[in-house]
DNA sequence: TTGAAAGCGCTAACAT
DNA sequence: ATGTTAGCGCTTTCAA
């Protein structure tokens, strides 16, 4: 690999001039610049990132931190990662994939101590997240995909649960439904302070109230079987529920089975929709399920962009330099599982 | 961040001694070593990877190259990535996520020119893959997840299609089936030299022949609808087919619908199985589908390991230093869609 | 067994 | 407008 010196020799100038010409750090005579660029091109010169980073304290490398997938990574998580990687690449950055081990803080301490990364992108942020405290204290630049309970002045990109809930409720209310049920994530996820579960529940409740329709979310099945049972329990407790939103794909499977078992059909007897599931999953059901599809890749891109903006001080220049927090709603993808409410049995 | 010099001062020794003590590069008196380690610990010293890399030409960073997902990444691809990242971390390496843009070779030239990565992990390898030629010529260390038509002396980890096919055929033959059909990937994927599609088809044919059962794979539906139609076409052309394996989840959806439409049931009238689909997907069907689940995370891990072994010269030390090629079969996960053949209508 | 010093490839003062 | 030089933090001869 040719170095700056090789280019300098070939162009008959000093290394600092080459550096300046290539980086635009200081004015260089047009003629010299041309010679330099030509020499660099002929040699196939590429700046050595390590040398540059060692000197400038900037590597243009970002780390994406994620908990080692408990139940295996879903499509959604993957899209955060690929979205972030693409945005980073387009802005001239690299993305390091950093699975967390048992001790995320130690992991972070290690990672940031290496001098390898300029900033950190946090995935799977919990409502109370120790990683956030650590990074803040350590003065490391970071942004979140998702957010803590009180993000304060921290950059993040997250789902706009308020708008998502409003859209979901508007969808079912528009079809004429008067009472919506919601099967949130399992109690475990809820207890684990899983932000989306808690926010989705709260916002759906609010949106339903605002729209003046009934709302229930007492059930939190965690599997297909539990989903089926929860559905039956739901109907006996609330026979007037005609629309159901569920967070978990597997639960939807169980609900559909229970619907069929009692001789009902979707959407004739029940409007069923997914929340936070990709349309690729939704369309594997029959009937194809309506879903509120999360803007995963977009959130990944945004998270990366926010971080890079901050690193480059752009956050400060435009606007007042405060935190930049971006909310993106899910997209309503209407399948074949949405319809008017069933005629109530008398 | 404390540097080597800080540690050296605190321990009252020369920097070179600290380096030696911490890396075991040369003998250091036990007492000195202890002092040094203590000083390092007290200071919370972390070696600067950039400085080390600049000097040693080794960064312990690997790049995972993948084509920007055409139809979006599947679960399988994701697991390659997380598997590789975990293995890398456990072996003291970092993994860079590198989406390819329009020009993969230029991308590669850039990436390897930066001096940032020690080696490259190739995903989505096609039967003829220009990236392989480039890396070989450029003398860059790499390994593949998947393989070219003639991998020659290149390290790779791939699915053992022969064993997978044999297991799949044994499964259906063991249930008493005498004729198996296979819906391969769509013609597009086939034409795109997608290795798994081509190898799976070839090996299933071979395995069926060896087991002495009939085999058809004339159909290549690419969607649920095409899957349904293909199924009907299959039955009229080969009414004696009682077992069907499909590569594509969506196609399975269509087949199930067609089965139901003609008043049939799975597995009573048809044994249906997935090939190369994760069990998480398979269990979302009703009935739960039998699947040959790809060892994705394992392949990711192996790919990373092979590459690291080579980088550390371990490939050469043990054995004769030739390429290391690892094949791992899919795992048969039996669902509720496998059963004995239907009684043939006369 | 340890220390001194050179240098990896680059950036950024400081000089000219 | 360009050249000279001093490091960034580390590894690695070479001396002592």
* pLDDT tens digit sequence for A257-306: 999 999 999 999 999 999 999 999 999 999 999 999 999 999 999 999 99
Find the angle CA(B6)-CA(B11)-CA(B15) to the nearest 5 degrees.
Answer: 55
Q: If contacts are CB pairs under 8 Å, which of residues 183-242 in chain A contact chain B? A: 224
Q: Which residue is nearest to nucleotide D9 (CA to C1')?
A: B51
Angstroms from B114 CA to nearest CA on chain A: 5
Parallel/antiparallel/unpaired status of strands B214-216 and B179-183:
parallel
Kindly tell me if the per-residue pLDDT of B320 is higher than 80.
Answer: no
Kindly tell me if the per-residue pLDDT of B234 is higher than 60.
Answer: yes
Res B193: pLDDT? 74
Please answer yes or no on whether A50 and B283 come within 8 Å at the CB atom.
no
Helix, strand, coil shares of chain B, percent, nearest 5, are 45, 15, 35
Please report, rounded to whole angstroms, the spatial distance between the CA atom of protein residue B316 and the C1' atom of nucleotide D12: 25
Phi, psi of B321 (to 5 degrees): 80, 5
Q: Which residue of B49, B250, B260, B297 to mutate against A (max A Cβ within 10 Å)?
A: B49
Q: Which residue of B47, B50, B256 to mutate against A (max A Cβ within 10 Å)?
A: B50
Q: Residue A220 and residue A227: Cα distance in Å, rounded?
A: 8
In this prediction, residue A320 has a pLDDT band, given cuts at 50, 70 and 90, of low
What per-residue string of b and e applies to A64-94 under the rule 16 or more CB within 10 Å gives b? bbbeebeeebbbbbbbbbbbbbbbbbebebb
> Is B54's CB less than 7 Å from nucleic acid strand D?
yes
Report whether B287 contacts B337 (CB < 8 A): yes
Res B71: pLDDT? 55
Tens of pLDDT, residues A109-118? 999 999 999 9
Tens of pLDDT, residues A212-241? 999 999 999 999 999 999 999 999 999 999
Kindly tell me if the per-residue pLDDT of B318 is higher than 60.
Answer: no
What per-residue string of b and e applies to B61-81 under the rule 16 or more CB within 10 Å gives b? bbbbbbeebeeebbbbbbbbb
Max CA pair span of chain A: 94
Res A346: pLDDT? 44
Interface contacts (A, B; CB < 8 Å): 134
Res B87: pLDDT? 96
Please answer yes or no on whether B72 and A74 come within 8 Å at the CB atom.
no
pTM here is 0.93
Kindly tell me if the per-residue pLDDT of B344 is higher than 50.
Answer: yes
Domains of chain A: residue spans and CATH: 4-47 (no CATH), 61-154+296-329 (3.40.50.2300), 161-294 (3.40.50.2300)
Q: Residue B159: beta bridge partners?
A: B328
Give the mean pLDDT of B255-260: 97
**pLDDT > 90: percent of chain A:** 87
More confident position, B191 or A233: A233
Q: Residue A17 and residue A20: Cα distance in Å, rounded?
A: 5
Residue B292: name the closest of B182, B189, B210, B144 by CA.
B182
Q: Residue A328 and residue A140: Cα distance in Å, rounded?
A: 25
Tens of pLDDT, residues B262-272? 999 999 999 99
Kindly tell me if the per-residue pLDDT of B183 is higher than 80.
Answer: yes
Chain B 56-95 residues whose Cβ is under 7 Å from strand D: 56
Q: Residue A6 and residue B161: Cα distance in Å, rounded?
A: 49
How far apart, in Å, are the Cα atoms of B292 and each of B219, B252, B277, B303? Answer: 20, 14, 7, 21
B70 touches chain A (CB under 8 A): no
- H runs (alpha helix) in chain B: 4-11, 15-23, 30-43, 49-56, 75-90, 104-113, 130-138, 161-174, 187-191, 195-211, 224-237, 249-261, 279-282, 296-311, 314-317
Query: Cα A63 to the chain's mean position, in Å?
Result: 15
Tens of pLDDT, residues A4-32? 999 999 999 999 999 999 999 999 999 99
Please answer yes or no on whether A95 and B94 come within 8 Å at the CB atom.
no
Res A186: pLDDT? 79
Mean pLDDT computed over every residue of chain B: 93
Angstroms from B149 CA to nearest CA on chain A: 28
C-alpha Rg value of chain B to the nearest Å: 26
In this prediction, residue A78 has a pLDDT band, given cuts at 50, 70 and 90, of confident
Kindly tell me if the per-residue pLDDT of A102 is higher than 60.
Answer: yes
Mean pLDDT computed over every residue of chain A: 93
A97 touches chain B (CB under 8 A): yes
Q: Which strands sit side by side in the sheet containing B243-246, from one edge to the other? A: B214-216, B179-183, B243-246, B271-275, B290-293, B331-333
Q: Which residues in chain A are contacts of B46 at CB distance < 8 A?
A: 110, 113-115
Give the mean pLDDT of B95-112: 93
**pLDDT > 70: percent of chain A:** 95
Q: Residue A301 and residue A83: Cα distance in Å, rounded?
A: 5
Count CB-CB contacts under 10 A for residue A346.
3
Q: Is A209 left (phi over 0), alpha (psi -120 to 50) or beta?
A: alpha
Secondary structure of residue A286 in the 3-state scheme: coil
Kindly tell me if the per-residue pLDDT of B322 is higher than 90.
Answer: no
Kindly tell me if the per-residue pLDDT of B32 is higher than 50.
Answer: yes
Please give the span between the terminal C-alpha atoms of chain B, in angstroms, as a whole number. Answer: 82
Kindly tell me if the per-residue pLDDT of A317 is higher than 50.
Answer: no
Pick from B47, B75, B284: CB nearest A253: B284
How far apart, in Å, are the Cα atoms of A130 and each of A103, A289, A306? Answer: 11, 37, 21
Element (H, E) at A333: strand A331-333
Report whether A216 contacts A238 (CB < 8 A): yes
């Amino acid at each position: 690999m040719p170095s700056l010196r090789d280019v300098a020799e070939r162009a008959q100038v000093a290394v600092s001039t080459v550096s300046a010409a290539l980086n635009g750090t200081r004015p260089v005579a047009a003629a010299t610049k041309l010679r330099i660029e030509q020499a660099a091109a002929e040699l196939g010169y590429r700046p050595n990132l390590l040398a540059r980073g060692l000197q400038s304290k900037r590597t243009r490398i970002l780390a994406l931190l994620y908990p080692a997938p408990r139940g295996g990574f879903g499509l959604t998580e993957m899209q955060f990662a690929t979205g972030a990687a693409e945005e980073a690449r387009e802005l001239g950055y690299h993305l390091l994939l950093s699975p967390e081990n048992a001790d995320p803080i130690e992991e972070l301490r290690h990672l940031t101590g290496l001098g390898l990364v300029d900033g950190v992108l946090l995935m799977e942020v919990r409502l109370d997240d120790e990683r956030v405290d650590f990074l803040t204290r350590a003065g490391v630049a970071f942004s979140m995909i998702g957010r803590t309970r009180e993000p304060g002045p921290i950059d993040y990109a997250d789902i706009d649960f308020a708008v998502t809930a409003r859209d979901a409720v508007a969808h079912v209310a528009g079809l004429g439904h008067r009472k919506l049920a919601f099967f949130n994530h399992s109690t475990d996820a809820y207890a684990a302070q899983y932000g989306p579960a808690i926010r989705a529940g709260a916002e759906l409740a609010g949106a339903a109230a605002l729209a003046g329709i009934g709302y229930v979310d007492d059930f939190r099945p965690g599997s297909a079987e539990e989903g089926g049972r929860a559905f039956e329990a739901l109907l006996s407790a609330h026979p007037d529920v005609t629309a159901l939103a569920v967070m978990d794909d597997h639960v939807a499977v169980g609900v559909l089975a229970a619907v069929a078992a009692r001789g009902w059909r979707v959407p004739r007897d029940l409007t069923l929709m997914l929340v936070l599931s990709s349309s690729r999953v939704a369309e594997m059901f029959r009937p194809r399920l309506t879903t509120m599809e999360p803007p995963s890749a977009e959130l990944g891109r945004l998270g990366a962009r926010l971080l890079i903006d901050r690193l480059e001080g752009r956050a400060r220049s435009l606007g007042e330099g405060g935190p930049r927090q971006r909310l993106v709603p899910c997209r309503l993808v209407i399948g074949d599982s949405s319809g008017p409410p069933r005629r109530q049995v008398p």
